[in-house]
Chains A and B, each alone.
Chain A
Amino acid sequence: MNENICAISTALGVGAISIVRASGPEVIMIANEIFEGKDLTQVPSHTIHYGYIVENKEKIDEVLVSVMRAPKTFTMEDVVEINCHGGIATTHRVLEALLLHGCRMAEPGEFSKKGFLNGRIDLTEAEGINDLIASETEEARKYAMNLVGGNLKAIIQKSRDVLVSLDAELEVNFDFPEEADNPEITHDKLKTALLHIKEDLEKLIASSKEGKLLKNGIDIAILGKPNVGKSSILNHLLDEKKAIVTDIAGTTRDIVEGTTTLSGIKINLLDTAGLRETEDIVEKIGVDKSKDIVTKADLVLYVLNNNEEIDDKELEYIHSLKNVQKILFINKNDLESKIDKSVLNRDEVAEGNTLTPNGLDQLKERIVSLFHLNEIKGKNYNFLSNARQTALAKKAYASIESAITSVEEFMPFEMIAVDIKNAFDELGEIIGVTYKEELLDELFSKFCLGK
């Protein structure tokens, strides 16, 4: 816990400024050793200083250094943040300089771990920060920021408040049965209140799906016969946004061919090379890898050539793509149409080409509308961010459902109270105010604590 750690805390390649962050008891001294400017060990806390990072008398980068002293920092230790301006290569050299002077490389999530263990943040916030560190698009970052800010907490707290007051009304009747002035509790009244909570949880769980999109992006598999233009579509999508091909730890996806953003949401184009290069796609159907990719993808983009007829086998394949989101993209719409569109589901069809400037607009619009990307963007980012939280929310939802069933069956009030209390505890676990063994298990698995 006492070590000096450092890491590049912005995603490389995004934006012009990269931040190198260091935390630990000696980081101010260490930073001062490589800094040309004011004596950082003497500056007041929470101040920013202009200067150069210098190694072996060579100026590596022109920087702004923020100095924040314990305990009012995110880790509750001394923290230094170096804003670098020189691009990926120089940022790496700044990091190296810190490493050479006594810092060690932080493990993924280690800053959050320090913040969590030092009592600065609770587990949900730590989870949010972990997401923040791994976030690659602006939308994902905003979403992670929201977790840190405790919005999720406020929303869950609201449901808990309702539950606790319902329970209090039940309890006062159990404990003081002869008080004439107790709040009257009826099965109807309970049901109404419980249905409201159910609805709120439903929204939260549904939005957690969107949360996943924000965090991980949309996986798209491009399929189609040879020479229908899959590669140029791929390249077009990637080129346009200056493809970010990432290898940031934790997001490695060996089948991602390239990444771009659409409406602020990350788009992962899956490598379907195995499918694309084969002569006869239909022959290949059912081959493990292709099947795997199709089920893994959030969207299958099936490309057709406008200038070519669809044969029966291909049609059969298209129709066999069930239970997946798909877009049938008719490419080369600048050429004469030989496709019988009537055999295709109109709702799934989009047209375009890669030759004219806005040739892929219709396709992009279709993706945006399919995944409600504009809505996600405009939304308040209140999502459950990970499997632990989502599982707990689902448990709480099940408890509420069970309470409603009990109410409908006119079960005694104390049975209903069992479910209400469980839901209350489960929601509490999401925001880290209820302590249960699972939380600790999660913690150990997440932060590799202990020996």
Chain B
Amino acid sequence: MKYDIIVVGGGHAGCEAAYASAKQGFSTALVTSNIKNIADMPCNPSIGGTAKGIVVREIDALGGLMGRVADKSHLQIKMLNSGKGPAVKSLRAQGDKVIYPQNMVKELKGLKSLAIIEAMVEDLLIEEEAIKGIVTDSGDKMFCDALILTTGTYLKSKILVGSTSKSEGPHGEKSSKHLSDTLKKWGFEIQRLKTGTPQRLDPETINYDLLTEELGDETPWTFSFDLEPLYDPKEQKKCYLVYTNEETHQIIRDNLAKSAMYGGYAEGIGPRYCPSIEDKVVRFGDKERHQLFLEPESEYYPDLYLQGFSTSMPEDVQEKMVHSLKGLENARILKYAYAIEYDAINPLQLKPSLETKLIKNLYTAGQINGTSGYEEAAGQGLIAGINAGLKLKGKEPLILKRNESYIGVLIDDLVTKGTKEPYRLLTSRAEYRLILRHDNADLRLRKYGYEVGIVDKEQYDRLLKKEKEIESLLQELQEVKINNRNVKEEILTCLGISRLEIGLSAYQLLKRPQMNIVLLEHYLKGKYTKEILEIVEIMVKYEGYISKTNREVEKMIKLEKKKIPADIDYDKIRNLASEARQKLKQIQPETIAQATRISGVNPTDISILTVYLKKEYGKE
């Protein structure tokens, strides 16, 4: 069989990649070892979260699936950080682990040019350093012009519980035993990473009276820019807060040697931001308690997910640990926590398009690139799918800049800095955070999705309408004059003054920190949605900060325009520090801006490089 594009893996990266490929009109095969596990959520049930929620919106803006599938499949949703500022706000939903995959499969099945095939891939067909196809474990060959690997944690995965380990993926699925060796053979650097997942508990055995409830927001939300809320906020499922105590910590300390991590049974490197409970207890010994969450996984089966309690302790110790928690004294463990180790490639071997530097037309996305998280995987999958398609069309790849999206920040970090631990997006990784907001993801990205043909005309028109409304509201605010004669009492109260000394435009008034745009609605001719009011309020109120960010962006863009020729020979540049030379050779940055972000390349090296470019390649 021959396809234009084959996607290996049916997780969150694979689904988006396959969708983007098929949607561009390419005959596409999604090859997965188990069709039942497409869009599976093997770890936590949430979609979104800080920074990640913005990624979901970016995926939606580009025409991807995650946002709209999540909107149809969640048990609870809330806006995080609503009090700390507009750009750090982010949506998080508790997805239904049964419904989410069903809705995802429904979307994929709606694509005529997409075939879903069940097979385990164990080898690659490569000719003249270009990908030609795959070989399955039964020896069947499938051919393609471009291949996207989204194998998640399935490369040589190993499940660790205490001192026992099994070579299998999540849910006892078989893992790919040879694919990472094939990659290694072709020159890929393979690193061993680790992540973990906590216990699942029986909801009938919990004493809820001792726990604190965590509710969803009363305001309804959607990730997608194209959907209205499809749920009743009052019907949302509850989550609960649980705390560890001194007894829990003592059990952990007494049994440290039995933990796979501390007992020396694990070799992979785990994420710092999502430590196992034994890590937390060891590293923050003086803390009296750690906070945990109890979250529902689905309406269709009982399991409650004990977020924050991931561990690689043996099962008998886990029993004791769970029962030491207030309210969980009699909890029945339905699934034990485990750690999982898997192979990943070094993302420094990728181009910003997510094509590998070593093998033409081979793309990788998701955990194989060293990231963690459904959203990070999906974002990369979408970009890999788009770029594989653009490559086959003979077009330039879509490379999102750091000032355009979190997905751009994520990919740039991966291919420029690499990662030694599973990489998670954080708002603090985005230096231009203020313009990468959840409210403007469509304004930033939808045009790209439309250009590549993933965003439909109808969706695109919605963007144009939004842009128009924003413009007209901004203009109205400028035109409306408010003075002592027409000022409303609430405005004075809000500003804490008794009269307006001078007349002001509504625009100027809105700039006041205390002012709320809702109080100005009365003066407006047009009728605007909450969404438009919010975005315009942010644009006006924080204009000064936004323009500061934009000035920084301009500096970066200037450096981004200084291209480094692909044929540059770093050995010819005298005086580069040896660490810088080695990093530059390995990473082959495409622009001076990218070079400045490489750790180990200091400003002096950049100066020397720039001087060399100027001498050897003329003005730019």
Contact = CB atoms under 8 A, between A and B. Distances in A.
B87, B549, B607, B615 — which one has the most chain A CB atoms within 10 A of its CB?
B607
Contacts of B542: 415
Given A122-B604, A175-B426, A450 B614 contact: yes
B615 A451 contact: yes
A450 B611 contact: yes
B604 A119 contact: yes
Contact of B614 (A117, A432, A436, A449): A449
B615 A418 contact: no
B84 A418 contact: no
Interface in B290-334: 290-291, 293
Interface string B569-596: 0000011110000000000000000001
Contacts of A436: 555
B608 A117 contact: yes
Contacts of A179: 291
Contact of B607 (A176, A443, A451): A443
B306 to A, nearest CB: 15
A432 B603 contact: yes
A157 B332 CA distance: 54
B516 interface: no
A436 B597 CA distance: 11
A429 to B, nearest CB: 9
A177 B87 CA distance: 14
A432 B605 CA distance: 11
A295 to B, nearest CB: 34
Interface string B535-574: 0000000100100110010010011000000000000001
A409 interface: yes
A171 B428 contact: yes
Contacts of A412: 83-86
A36 B545 CA distance: 68
Interface in A421-449: 421-422, 425, 432-440, 443, 449
Interface in B330-380: none
A440 B431 contact: no
Contacts of A45: none
A414 B603 contact: no
A180 B291 contact: yes
A178 B291 contact: yes
Given A178-B291, A410-B513, A414-B433, A432 B428 contact: no
A177 B80 CA distance: 7
A418 B434 contact: yes
B66 interface: no
Q: How large is the interface on A (under 10, 10 to 19, 20 to 34, 35 or more residues)?
A: 35 or more
A411 interface: yes
B575 to A, nearest CB: 5
A397 interface: no
A145 to B, nearest CB: 21
A207 interface: no
Contacts of B574: 1
B545 A118 contact: no
Contacts of B290: 181
A123 interface: yes
B602 interface: yes
A433 B433 contact: no
Interface in A164-205: 171, 173-181
Nearest to B83: A412
Contacts, number: 108
A421 B602 contact: no
Given A176-B50, A450-B615, A119 B287 contact: no
A119 B85 contact: no
Given A1-B575, A418-B548, A413 B611 contact: no
Interface string A71-88: 000001000000000000
Contacts of A177: 50, 80-81, 84
A107 to B, nearest CB: 16
Nearest to A436: B555
B255 to A, nearest CB: 24
A59 B552 CA distance: 61
A418 B51 CA distance: 17
A117 B606 CA distance: 10
B428 A174 contact: yes
A174 B603 contact: no
A433 B603 CA distance: 6
A63 B83 CA distance: 73
B603 A123 contact: yes
B427 interface: yes
A424 B200 CA distance: 45
A174 B427 contact: yes
Interface string A112-123: 000011110011
B483 interface: no
A437 B614 contact: no
A181 B243 CA distance: 12
Contact of B291 (A76, A181, A421, A437): A181
Contacts of B615: 450-451
Given A173-B84, A175-B426, A434-B603, A440 B610 contact: yes
A178 B212 CA distance: 14
A450 to B, nearest CB: 4
Nearest to B542: A415
Contacts of B431: 421
Interface in B87-105: 87-88
A414 B538 CA distance: 13
Contacts of B273: 175-176
A432 B596 CA distance: 12
Interface string A298-328: 0000000000000000000000000000000
Contacts of B576: 119
Contacts of A174: 50, 81, 84, 88, 427-428
Contacts of A123: 603-604
A419 B547 CA distance: 12
Nearest to B287: A181
Given A1-B574, A1-B575, A117-B607, A413 B84 contact: yes
Contacts of B86: 412, 414
A303 to B, nearest CB: 51
Nearest to B614: A450
Nearest to B580: A119
A435 B596 contact: yes
Nearest to A410: B513
Contacts of B602: 122, 433
Contacts of A410: 513
Given A1-B574, A174-B428, A180-B291, A437 B603 contact: no
Contacts of A119: 575-577, 604-605, 608
B173 to A, nearest CB: 31
A437 B555 contact: yes
A418 B549 contact: yes
B548 A435 contact: no
B119 to A, nearest CB: 39
A409 B541 CA distance: 12
Contacts of B559: 437
Nearest to A439: B603
A439 B293 CA distance: 49
Interface string A216-241: 00000000000000000000000000
Sort A-B residue pairs by CB-CB distance and give the 9 closest, nearest first: A412-B85, A414-B85, A171-B428, A174-B88, A450-B614, A435-B603, A409-B513, A175-B426, A435-B596
Given A123-B604, A414-B85, A418-B434, 8 more contacts: A116-B604, A122-B603, A171-B426, A175-B51, A181-B290, A433-B603, A439-B607, A440-B606
25 contacts: A1-B575, A116-B607, A117-B604, A117-B607, A171-B426, A174-B84, A174-B428, A175-B427, A176-B50, A177-B80, A177-B84, A178-B80, A181-B287, A181-B291, A412-B85, A414-B87, A415-B542, A422-B552, A432-B603, A432-B604, A434-B603, A435-B603, A436-B555, A439-B607, A440-B610
Interface of B: 50-51, 80-81, 83-88, 273, 287, 290-291, 293, 426-428, 431, 433-434, 513, 542, 545, 548-549, 552, 555, 558-559, 574-577, 596, 602-608, 610-611, 614-615
